[in-house]
Amino acid sequence: MCKDAIIFNNKPKGTKLEAGVEYLICACGRSKDGVFCDGSHKTTECLPKKLVVEKTKPYLICLCKRSKNFPFCDGTHSFYTDADIGKNINIEPLPL
Ligand code: FES
């Protein structure tokens, strides 16, 4: 995770991606749609994540920008509330 990343949303977004196409996925949480890089990271130390998928289908893209399987959702967003959107905070889950 980029240390400058803000939480774009506290839920992922289903996004259809085409096989073989190179995408730049926003890692900073500042792009307009939260999914694709639009250059808004330039004021941060974040860089977009290059992604090429093998199958054309919808993928759940992480919008909290804290997934351990970034750019795909791993459920980490469930630790964040609506009040956390737009903030750069990190909540480490308690060990079970
Ligand atoms: S706009 Fe977020 S990584 Fe480029």
Best CA proximity match to 42, nearest among 24, 34, 50, 30? 30
**DSSP annotation string for 28-95:** SS-SSSSSB--SGGGGSS--PEEE--SS-EEEEE-SSS--TTTTB--SGGGG--GGGTT-----PPPP
Q: What is the pTM of this model?
A: 0.93
Q: Quick one: which atom of ligand 1 is closest to the CA of 38? A: 1
3-state SS, residue 83: helix
How far apart (Å, rounded) are the C-alpha atoms in residues 75 and 11?
Answer: 8
pLDDT tier at 95 (50, 70, 90 boundaries)?
low
Q: Quick one: which atom of ligand 1 is closest to the CA of 29? A: 2
pLDDT of residue 93: 66
For residue 16, pLDDT over 90 is answered with yes
Tell me the pLDDT tens digit for each residue of 33-81: 999 999 999 999 999 999 999 999 999 999 999 999 999 999 999 999 9
Pocket of ligand 1 (CB under 6 A): 26-28, 30-31, 37-41, 46, 48
Tell me the pLDDT tens digit for each residue of 77-94: 999 999 999 999 988 766
